[in-house]
Chain A
Amino acid sequence: MERKPRLLTVLDVLSIVLLAVATWMALFWAPMEALMGNVQRVFYFHVAAGWVGMMGFLLAVIAGIAYLRTGAGKWDIVGLSGVEIGLVFAFINIVTGSIWARPIWNTWWTWDPRLVTATIMFLVYVAYLMLREGIDDPNRRARFGAIYAIVGFVSVPLTFLSIRIFRTIHPTLVGSGDPAALGAFDMTPNMRMVFFFSLFVFTVIGIDLLWHRIRLGWLKDQVEQRKFQLMS
């Protein structure tokens, strides 16, 4: 079996260190926001997680297209990994969004277009996993996965648009009247620094986890092949 690449171990360590630093910066170093208080600090990780989640799904789409064009199994592993990692970060995004909303609007959920769209996107990719789960033939599983990843991803901007227009015409009773803002506020330069740093850190963590997951998928494939070779 192949050994774990050195670079991956380095990345693991780097991820942990950077996460610790980012946590300290977000919770302690960043200045407190005037209007919302300390809960605003969730924002740094909330947006970063959302960003990485989206990147994961985007990767799944690209891998899906690549798989359909080449038929090479490795793209299927990349696509599946992208979705799984994307789902984890999307979930973090939704939950932190909820945590942020609670003290500000006294509700666990606001029908903010971005939050709703994020949730729908989450459900789309859960459906992706369920689709894969129900198919036994590996070729078909990969093809269908690729197709649904594409269909799902294209539908999301349309969903966002429809909900956004929905909200401008009918602002909700709960939550901010401005449909575009989930707690809009101005960022000071220090805040901006923490924000971009968090973005960077989460991207690193995302890549680290993605690499692990792809490697896992690839090793699993190898085991399957050896198994069949031994049986025949």
Chain B
Amino acid sequence: MIQVHKLVKRFGAKTVLRGLDFEVAEGEFVALLGPNGAGKTTFLRILASLSRPTMGVVRLASYHLPGQAAQVRLKLGVLSHQPLLYGDLTGEENLRFYGRMYGVEDLDARIAEVLKLVGLSARRRDVVRTYSRGMQQRLAIGRAVIHDPQVLLLDEPYTGLDQDASEMLDEILRLVAAQGRTVVMTSHDLARAAGLAERFDVLSRGVIAASAERAAIPEGGLLTFYQKALGGEGEGAHVL
């Protein structure tokens, strides 16, 4: 589903991604781990077609980026740590707007379905500005899946969420992922990632430093794996 080969991204003189290789099969759930500033967000933005590679090959759902970005977008759902929601519109209106932007058919029915999925049917007519952070993030997931995308990209989705909200998010992500979608999620939070992902990749110094299937990592051994991949410094990661 996703193939990345020798991806390089430079900002002026600064090189953030240095010939990164990455591959995800259809339906796989991959957690992308790494310290702050490693380039996770930059990488995800390139996959999301929001940023162009300086060099290298990126293919998503058999389309090339950035050349065929327009075709890719229909199949992509993106959740970043910003909700990408309009504060002055209601939950329903936000979904309606994005539904229109993605040409979703039977929009009313789809909106109702999505609201039920994220547990916000009761608050649909409330303005998003009044939502808590957790509720905004849940609505954001609704926004991300309203057009039923094949690929989901999640950038630090748990940022700023309390325990309850995080658990709710867990549930929703599990549901959404179970429907056969391909998911790439970046995270600081090893514990959360451990619960959801089938595979763990570590991005360090601009390349994928290590990659392992969940089966290959012993119970509770994720932190060790992560630290080893970084060469002994486990900064920026927490485990409960």
**Touching chains A and B, CB distance < 8 Å:** yes
Let me know if B11 and A228 touch, CB within 8 A. Answer: no
Distance in angstroms from B130 CB to nearest chain A CB is 34
Q: Which residues of A contact B15 (CB under 8 A)?
A: 228, 232
Q: Is A106 an interface residue (CB 8 A)?
A: no
Q: Is A225 an interface residue (CB 8 A)?
A: yes
Q: Is B122 an interface residue (CB 8 A)?
A: no
Residues of A141-159 whose CB lies within 8 A of B: none
Q: Is A107 an interface residue (CB 8 A)?
A: no
Q: Which residues of A contact B14 (CB under 8 A)?
A: 228
CA distance A137 to B14 in the complex (A): 10
Q: Is A103 an interface residue (CB 8 A)?
A: no
* Chain B residue nearest in CB terms to A221: B13
Let me know if A225 and B11 touch, CB within 8 A. Answer: no
Q: Is B12 an interface residue (CB 8 A)?
A: yes
Q: Which residues of B contact A139 (CB under 8 A)?
A: 11-12
Residues of A183-214 whose CB lies within 8 A of B: none
Q: Which residues of B contact A227 (CB under 8 A)?
A: 13
Q: Which residues of B contact A221 (CB under 8 A)?
A: 13
Annotate B1-31 by CB proximity to A: 1 below 8 A, 0 otherwise. Answer: 0000000000111110000000000000000
CA distance A139 to B13 in the complex (A): 10
Distance in angstroms from A146 CB to nearest chain B CB is 15
Residues of A81-99 whose CB lies within 8 A of B: none
Distance in angstroms from A230 CB to nearest chain B CB is 11
* Chain A residue nearest in CB terms to B15: A228
CA distance A73 to B13 in the complex (A): 10
Q: Which residues of A contact B13 (CB under 8 A)?
A: 138, 221, 224-225, 227-228
Annotate A159-202 by CB proximity to B: 1 below 8 A, 0 otherwise. Answer: 00000000000000000000000000000000000000000000
Distance in angstroms from A151 CB to nearest chain B CB is 23
Q: Which residues of B contact A232 (CB under 8 A)?
A: 15, 205
Annotate A43-81 by CB proximity to B: 1 below 8 A, 0 otherwise. Answer: 000000000000000000000000000000100000000
Q: Which residues of B contact A73 (CB under 8 A)?
A: 12
* Chain A residue nearest in CB terms to B206: A232
* Chain A residue nearest in CB terms to B51: A139
* Chain A residue nearest in CB terms to B205: A232
Q: Which residues of B contact A225 (CB under 8 A)?
A: 13
Besides the known contacts A73-B12, A224-B13, A232-B205, 15 further A-B residue pairs in the complex with CB atoms under 8 A apart: A137-B11, A137-B12, A138-B11, A138-B12, A138-B13, A139-B11, A139-B12, A221-B13, A224-B12, A225-B13, A227-B13, A228-B13, A228-B14, A228-B15, A232-B15
B interface with A by C-beta (< 8 Å): 11-15, 205
A interface with B by C-beta (< 8 Å): 73, 137-139, 221, 224-225, 227-228, 232
Can you list 16 A-B contacts with CB-CB less than 8 angstroms, sorted by A residue number?
A73-B12, A137-B11, A137-B12, A138-B11, A138-B12, A138-B13, A139-B11, A221-B13, A224-B13, A225-B13, A227-B13, A228-B13, A228-B14, A228-B15, A232-B15, A232-B205
Listed from nearest, the 6 A-B pairs whose CB atoms lie closest are: A138-B12, A224-B13, A225-B13, A228-B13, A228-B14, A137-B11
